[in-house]
Structures are given as structure tokens and as C-alpha cells.
């Protein structure tokens, strides 16, 4: 029996900057030929050129993930340049703020369009290639898919939907050797996340926050999920947040305030007081 096919051709959406660029770079350095696709044409072409200057095989393509015709063009061009696609990474995303009541239909459609429909359209367009190569799909979700936060209504819904989509695709194509998984990062230090936090969240981001994830760490996780070692990993969420999603308040307390001692240390101090003050001593 022949072994698994080597994966060599990847397409990453949202690759002009931030996490998508981190993923594209990790794949390119792991010898993938990479198409970096983004709605920001100039930025994505510059990002691809920078990778080529590092000796990597990379091209930048303009793509609006919400447009089926754009997907058709990009996949066709990729096919004729490098042959069938065997790794699709859906990373393009937006994270607007809004509650259930303040979110209007336009915002709802924009967020679900990019974060959820965009991934579906990409998978649909890539499937012929993925099928021929027993390829793999990695969707970039968020810890917020399973740990919602007030004020992130359409984002949380879109990422929860992406988790459903991930499982459905995994089930529909498992007989064909295609895998589909979702990476759920916690806070990742990207230029746009800095802007968002300055405006809506934590002005002390990133200096004041501990346990931030880096784009390089997300890239390394994608390289792993696409490797032969991960052939049996299908339909899962890979949390990439130092375990914060299982901590209290979705990890916010643990994330906060780098200047304070870590939780465990503070707990040790508390226990020492309790033991000496109230517990009976044992022989
Ligand atoms: N930064 C974080 O803390 C964090 C945490 C968890 C998950 N995520 C997810 O990771 C992904 C990337 O986040 P980031 O911080 O790097 O964001 P970013 O804003 O830096 O990058 C997102 C990219 O997507 C592109 N994009 C937006 N709409 C598009 C469209 N219609 N078609 C094609 N491209 C489009 C943008 O031009 C941009 O280059 C998003 O899906 C986000 O939800 C981010």
C-alpha cells in the first residue's frame, strides 16, 4: 500500500497580514508552494514578494472570499501554475463589535459572509483538487466559537458556525481521505488586533497581557495539522490559547495584567495563610 501523498501546494486566505501571513510564511518555510490570497491586493502582493525574497515559492492573489466567481478564478490559476491544491487554510476574517440588539442586518451579513460563507465557498471551489490529493482543510476559528463574550454577537455566531461547518465537512469527506479541522486561537498579537483593542478593549494590549499567541505559533499548528503525523486528526478544534478557554471567565483573568504574579503563585500565598491560620495540624 502506498503511503500518504506529500502535501505541497497551499492556499491561505487573509494572508496579506497578521495570522494569515504567519501561516503562509510557516508553510512556505516548510517548502510548500503558497498562494497568499486577500481582498487587499497591493498588501498581499507585497507580502508574497517578501516571501519570494526569502527564497520561498509564493504568489499573491486578489480574492474576496464572499465571491464564488473570485474563488473559481483563483483556484483555476493555481491549478495551471502548480497543479492541484492539497491544503486550504481559511483565515480571512473580520471581528466587528455589536450586541444582539445593536447589530443590524448589514453587519450580520458582512460578518457571516466573510467568516462563514467565505470558508464554505473556498472549500467548494477547492474540493476537486483536495479530492484528487487526499487534501486537508484548516479553518481559523476562535476560542469565542465555544466561549462567547458580550458585544461580539455576529463574530461569535460566525465562529460557532465555522465549527459546525468544520465538523460537517469532516464527516462528508472522511471516506475520501480529506480532513477538516479548526484551530481556535486565543488573543493573537497582530497589528489589527492592536488597533481593535486600543479602540474597544484593552489599551494595555499587548504589553499588559500574558499568554498571547503569536502568528508563528498558529503557523506551526497548521504545518502540523497538514503533516502525515496528523492524518487521523479530523473534525476537531485545536485550541491554541495556553488552555485559557477552560479557565474562568474564558481566561480573561489569567490573561490580564502581566505585572501581577501569576495565578498559581498568588494561590500558593493564599494557601499558606489558610493552612497556618485555620487548619488543624496533623502528625
Ligand atoms: N488576532 C486575534 O486575536 C484572533 C484571535 C482568534 C481568532 N482570530 C481569527 O484569525 C483570523 C485572522 O485574524 P488577524 O488578527 O490576523 O486579522 P487581520 O485583520 O490582521 O487579517 C485578516 C485579513 O483578512 C482579510 N480579509 C477581510 N475580508 C476579506 C474578504 N472578504 N476576502 C478576503 N480577505 C479578507 C483582510 O484584508 C486581512 O488581511 C480571523 O479569522 C480572526 O477571526 C484572530
| Torsion, Cα of 172, 9, 67, 160 (10° steps) | 50
Is residue 254 included in any domain, yes or no?
no
Is residue 208 included in any domain, yes or no?
no
CATH of the domain at 30: 3.40.50.720
Catalytic-residue membership of 200 = no
Options 155, 173, 200, 224, the catalytic residue: 155
CB distance 113 to 162 below 8 Å: no
CB distance 215 to 22 below 8 Å: yes
Instruction: Please tell me the predicted confidence (pLDDT) of residue 251.
Output: 57
Nearest CA, atom 13, ligand 1: 19
Is residue 279 included in any domain, yes or no?
no
- Give how far Cα 53 sits from Cα of 28, 40, 58, 83, Å: 12, 20, 10, 23
Instruction: Please tell me the predicted confidence (pLDDT) of residue 28.
Output: 97
Q: Domain range for residue 40?
A: 9-189+213-248
Is residue 271 included in any domain, yes or no?
no
What residues contact residue 54 under an 8 Å CB cut-off, 6+ apart? 28, 29
- Which residues, judged by CB distance below 6 Å to any ligand atom, belong to the binding site of ligand 1? 13-14, 16-20, 38-40, 63-66, 91-95, 114, 140, 142, 185, 187-188, 190, 192-193
Q: How many domains does the chain have?
A: 1
Is residue 84 included in any domain, yes or no?
yes
User: 274: CA distance to ligand 1 center in Å?
Assistant: 47
What residues contact residue 144 under an 8 Å CB cut-off, 6+ apart? 152, 155, 156, 159, 250
CA distance 12 to 87: 8
Mutate to test the pocket of ligand 1, among 13, 14, 69 (most ligand atoms within 8 A of CB): 14
| Torsion, Cα of 206, 38, 164, 107 (10° steps) | 80
User: 105: CA distance to ligand 1 center in Å?
Assistant: 21
> Containing H/E element for 163?
helix 153-173
Is residue 229 included in any domain, yes or no?
yes
Nearest CA, atom 17, ligand 1: 18
User: 192: CA distance to ligand 1 center in Å?
Assistant: 8
High-pLDDT (> 70) share of the chain, %:
86
Backbone angles phi, psi at 205, to 5 degrees: -75, 130
How many CA atoms lie within 13 Å of 276's alpha carbon, on the beta-carbon side?
A: 5
Which of ligand 1's atoms lies nearest the C-alpha of 188?
3
pLDDT in tens, the chain (283 residues): 344 567 799 999 999 999 999 999 999 999 999 999 999 999 999 999 999 999 999 999 999 999 999 999 999 999 999 999 999 999 999 999 999 999 999 999 999 999 999 999 999 999 999 999 999 999 999 999 999 988 999 999 999 999 999 999 999 999 999 999 999 999 899 999 888 888 887 778 888 887 889 999 999 999 999 999 999 999 999 999 988 888 765 555 556 556 655 555 655 555 544 444 333 333 3
CA distance 65 to 84: 19
User: 275: CA distance to ligand 1 center in Å?
Assistant: 48
Which of ligand 1's atoms lies nearest the C-alpha of 66?
31
Instruction: Please tell me the predicted confidence (pLDDT) of residue 40.
Output: 98
Is residue 36 included in any domain, yes or no?
yes
Is residue 47 included in any domain, yes or no?
yes
> Containing H/E element for 276?
helix 263-278
User: 18: CA distance to ligand 1 center in Å?
Assistant: 7
What residues contact residue 145 under an 8 Å CB cut-off, 6+ apart? 156, 159, 160, 162, 163, 182, 184, 237
pTM value?
0.91
Amino acid at each position: 500500500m502506498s503511503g500518504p501523498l506529500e502535501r505541497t501546494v497551499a492556499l491561505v486566505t487573509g494572508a496579506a497580514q497578521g495570522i494569515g501571513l504567519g501561516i503562509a510564511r510557516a508553510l512556505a518555510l516548510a517548502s510548500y508552494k503558497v498562494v497568499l490570497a486577500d481582498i487587499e491586493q497591493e498588501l498581499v502582493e507585497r507580502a508574497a514578494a517578501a516571501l519570494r525574497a526569502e527564497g520561498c515559492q509564493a504568489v499573491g492573489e486578489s480574492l474576496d472570499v464572499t465571491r464564488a466567481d473570485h474563488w473559481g478564478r483563483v483556484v483555476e490559476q493555481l491549478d495551471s501554475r502548480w497543479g492541484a491544491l492539497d491544503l486550504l487554510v481559511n483565515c480571512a476574517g473580520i471581528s466587528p463589535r455589536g450586541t444582539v440588539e445593536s447589530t443590524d442586518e448589514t453587519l450580520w451579513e458582512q460578518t457571516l459572509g466573510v467568516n462563514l460563507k467565505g470558508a464554505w465557498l473556498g472549500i467548494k471551489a477547492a474540493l476537486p483538487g483536495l479530492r484528487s490529493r487526499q487534501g486537508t482543510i484548516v479553518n481559523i476559528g476562535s476560542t469565542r466559537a465555544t466561549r462567547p463574550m458580550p458585544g461580539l454577537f455576529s463574530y461569535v455566531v460566525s465562529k460557532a458556525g465555522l465549527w459546525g461547518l468544520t465538523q460537517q465537512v469532516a464527516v462528508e469527506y472522511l471516506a475520501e481521505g480529506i480532513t477538516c479541522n479548526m484551530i481556535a486561537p486565543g488573543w493573537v498579537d497582530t497589528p489589527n488586533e492592536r488597533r481593535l483593542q486600543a479602540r474597544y478593549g484593552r489599551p494595555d494590549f499587548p504589553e499588559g497581557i500574558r499568554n498571547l499567541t503569536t502568528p508563528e505559533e498558529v503557523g506551526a499548528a497548521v504545518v502540523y495539522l497538514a503533516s502525515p503525523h496528523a492524518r487521523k486528526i479530523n473534525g476537531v478544534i485545536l485550541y491554541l490559547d495556553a488552555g485559557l478557554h477552560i479557565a474562568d471567565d474564558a481566561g480573561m483573568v489569567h490573561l490580564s495584567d502581566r505585572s501581577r504574579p501569576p495565578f498559581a503563585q498568588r494561590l500558593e500565598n493564599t494557601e499558606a495563610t489558610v493552612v497556618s491560620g485555620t487548619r488543624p495540624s496533623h502528625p
